[in-house]
Amino acid sequence: MAASTPLPVLLFLALTSLLSPAAAASPHISAVISQSGLDFAKDLLVTRAAEAITPLEVPDIERSVTIPLVGTVDMVASGIVLHGVAVENSTVAVGDDGIVVAALLSSVNLTMGWSYSYSAWIVTISDSDGFSNHIRSSVENAIRNKIMEGASKLDSFLGSLPKKIDVDSIAALNVTFVNDPIFKRSSIEFDIDGLFIPSDKSAAFRNRHFGGVKYAPPLGSSSKMLWISLDEDVFNSVSALYFKAGLLQHMVDKISDQFLLNTASWRLLIPRLYQKYPNDDMLLNISATSPPYVRINVGRIDATVDLDVTVNVLDFDEIVPVACLSVSVAVSGAAVVSGNNLAGRVELDYFSFTLKWSKIGKLHTIIVQSVMQLFLKRMFVPYVNSCITRGFPLPIIKGFSIRDAYILTSQSRIIRSPVTTAGTGEGGGRGGGLLSVLDRAMVDEEEYRRARAQVQRKGVEVEGYAIEGVSVGGHETCVTVPSLNVAFDIGRGPLFAVNQDYLFITHAHLDHIGGLPMYVATRGLYNLKPPIVFVPPCIKDDVEELLQIHRRMSQVDLKVELVALDLGETYEIRNDLVARPFETHHAIPSQGYVIYSVRRKLKKQYAHLKGTQIQKMKQSGAEITDTILYPEVAFTGDTKSDFILDPRNADALRAKVLITEATFLDDQIDVDHAREHGHMHLSEIMEHSQWFRNKAIVLTHFSNRYSLEDIRQAVSRLQSKLSSKVVALTEGFKSDYR
């Protein structure tokens, strides 16, 4: 039996109840159900409806037919039971103020009893046309009534959904609907309050079951079904709740570098602390002084929090406060979807601090900065991440799960889609609605991701060497080669350089040597052996005086071995590694360095000997090998291009890896200007390209007048002139380009 059965009431009732707005309020979470999402809901509801209406009993049908010459024929269809419904197709459409679902039934399976009575022998009675139509009509009415009953139950269920989602005993997400839904040609947009409010529950919220559904497919498979947008006020509301509840404080008694939480570690750096509390354990009491403030920007989420960090000493089981710091911390990160929760991770961007009070004398900035950076990176940020990786629940009904989430951050909002391709919609609405901002957000996000990928790249790897560092012309240069245990220059004393035992200074400009005292002090703080620092001989006395000044000011014993390494001299770093300086040409005295691997090769005159003979000669003390130096890594620091033409610098130009500067890249700054200030122009490197025999060249020291795209194009131009592989070190590059 075929029946065309429209079901316009089912989803309309559901959405009428679900989206009935409360009193007017500002929405902070918006959602758009796309056409593919509507199709999914329609298919699910129609399938459930078809399953729910069977078996269905249809009332008995009685009919009397008066036949001329025969009389009255009584016909009865009884015990009619509908066992199965097959849906041929279904559709969903969005109108001006609701949606309509229609389903076409291709067939129904039913059983029934059939009887009729008459008294005649000249007429045959059949059930053609009229009676079969009566049966069809009765079945359709029974199906419609069953669907209306189911729709009413669904409507009641949706109306009973909670108006908040409890996260814990402190916070709950307000999911009250505000404003009227926007019905477009192929989508529906609706708003909810979305701010966190105090919870009155002692246990976490349990998601509601959707009727008897035990499992439903994930939200989406091949197209975006749902977009959800969250305003930054959502996050600020929950931070305010936790702050008000007094939960944003933490006592720290264990850290990865546990020795720092004992006064003995500070006996040289803060003598007064150790004298007053010798060998006592320490505690840190961290408490927020105001709610953390969250800002959502293109491609990232930023947050700042102001903290009081109180240093306590455990003196005979008594907690004694000895100092307090006021610290402002800035972090940034990204949102992620974990299950049906919105979570995230952050990294430390920067921090600042002031000393509020101290009972142990003045705490010197150089010491506090180093310790605070260690503490924030190794304890505070991991602790924050352990909290926010759990996230908070999104308003998703039990039985549904988010899959293939795609997240945009733009214009103070997080825009999240749980699937893979976008649905679109047309029509009017408040300022174009959520869909109207998606295109802009996607363009902004793509541009940001490309730039951010360049900035966040952790160094480069060439010819088997990982090279890390930061180098921005006039601001800071520090480049490390961890496998060789060396660092070149130290503009601001970055933490990544601290583990390198050998530091090579090329010249005395502050953006290349300014971080030296911090580097030495931090190694002392970590109980690392005193570093060996190489400097041009002409500045050794001044560097020694600089360190002595810091020793007097900070009352800290800065332990360091200072080596004046002159041109032509060789220093053995280890038995298979040596260093030699070479001449460079900057605005002030300068020199570069080449790191050589040391290899020993059997002398030619002994090549014919057997192994036992060679061993005997070696035991007798005879010198049977030649020592050969292979240039591995060369670093120029700041220099004019003159170093390229100096034949004494051949080893720098044939090292496996040459790390050199390219301060200026285009015609806006000409070669003469570059040379006047002791720097190189990219065009000079291209002009002298025939002299480079390196396997790889790492460009550094770009002026911050350039953008990352300018640098990329410059590398491409130079690569076309050189057989060497050319890469740019842009880790941490800060551009003035807008």
- Collapsing DSSP to helix, strand or coil, 231 comes out as strand
| Residue 152, CA distances (Å) to 9, 17, 346, 687 in order | 9, 10, 46, 81
Distance CA 96, CA 118 (A): 56
3-state SS string for 581-650: EEECCCCCCCEEEEEEEEEEEECHHHCCCCHHHHHHHHHCCCCCEEEEEEEEEEECCCCCCHHHHCHHHH
Domains of the chain and CATH, by start: 10-14+34-160 (no CATH), 223-393 (3.15.20.10), 464-593+630-728 (3.60.15.10)
Answer for the pair 286, 308: CB distance below 8 angstroms, yes or no.
yes
Give the predicted TM-score (pTM) of the model: 0.53
Q: Rounded to whole angstroms, how far apart are CA atoms 309 and 660?
A: 42
* C-alpha–C-alpha distance, residues 223 and 545, integer Å: 68
CA-wise closest residue to 167 among 193, 210, 200:
200
The DSSP call for residue 234 is H
Task: Evaluate if residue 93 carries a pLDDT over 80.
Answer: no
Q: Is the pLDDT of residue 65 over 90?
A: no
Phi, psi (deg, nearest 5) at residue 521: -65, -40
Residue 123, φ and ψ in degrees, nearest 5? -130, 140
H or E element that contains 671: helix 671-676
pLDDT value at residue 342: 81
- Residue 229's pLDDT band (cuts 50, 70, 90): confident
CA separation (Å) from 613 to 274, 297, 474, 603, 608?
A: 63, 73, 60, 14, 10
User: What is the rounded CA–CA span in Å between residue 637 and residue 507?
Assistant: 8
In the predicted structure, residue 543 carries a pLDDT above the cut 50: yes
Distance CA 731, CA 577 (A): 27
In the chain, what percentage of residues exceed pLDDT 90? Answer: 23
pLDDT of residue 345: 87
* Greater pLDDT, 120 or 698: 698
pLDDT at 603: 73
Structure tokens at 695: 């396997």
Lowest mean pLDDT among 157-171, 280-294, 708-722: 157-171
> What average pLDDT does range 12-19 have in this prediction?
42
- Token pair of 729, please? 């070190």
Of 81, 52, 58, the closest CA to residue 142 belongs to 58
**pLDDT at residue 610 tops 50:** yes
What pLDDT band is residue 453 in, cutting at 50, 70 and 90? low
Rounded to 10 degrees, the C-alpha dihedral 207/212/214/219 comes to -70
Q: What are phi and psi of 653, to 5 degrees?
A: -85, -5
pLDDT digits (tens, 9 = 90+) for 619-668: 777 777 778 899 999 999 999 999 999 989 999 999 999 999 999 998 88
- Tell me the C-alpha distance between 303 and 355, whole Å: 23
What pLDDT does 569 receive? Answer: 95
- Beta strand 61-67 with 56-58 is unpaired
For residue 361, the model assigns a pLDDT of 82
122-126, 213-217, 655-659, 734-738: least confident range: 213-217
Q: How confident is the model at residue 166 (pLDDT cuts 50, 70, 90)?
A: confident
365 vs 371: CA distance, rounded Å: 10
What span, in angstroms and rounded, lies between the C-alpha atoms of 488 and 497?
Answer: 9
Task: Report the SS3 class of residue 339.
Answer: coil
Q: List, for residues 359-368, the tens digit of each pLDDT value.
A: 988 777 667 7
Least confident of 536-550, 602-616, 651-665: 602-616
Nearest one of 159, 185, 155 to 33, comparing CA atoms: 185
Helix axes 365-375, 540-554, angle to 10 degrees: 80
Tokens encoding 404: 């293939």
Tokens of residue 547, six digits: 């360190």
**Which stretches of 430-544 are assigned E, i.e. beta strand?**
460-462, 465-472, 476-481, 486-488, 502-504, 532-535
Percent of the chain with pLDDT over 70: 73
Band of residue 332 on the pLDDT scale cut at 50, 70, 90 = confident
Cβ proximity of 666 and 713 under 8 Å: no
* Inter-residue contact 227 to 219 (CB < 8 Å): no
State which H helix or E strand residue 72 sits in: strand 71-94
Alpha carbon distances (Å) from 633 to 119, 425, 501:
115, 58, 17
Dist CA 409 CA 417 (whole Å): 12
Q: Which residues are paired to 534 by β-bridges?
A: 504, 563
Q: What is the pLDDT of residue 102?
A: 74
Q: How confident is the model at residue 421 (pLDDT cuts 50, 70, 90)?
A: very low
User: What sign results for the dihedral spanned by CA atoms 699, 705, 709, 710?
Assistant: negative
pLDDT beyond 70 at 161: no
pLDDT higher than threshold 70 for residue 22:
no
277, burial (CB in 10 Å: exposed 0-12, middle 13-18, buried 19+):
buried
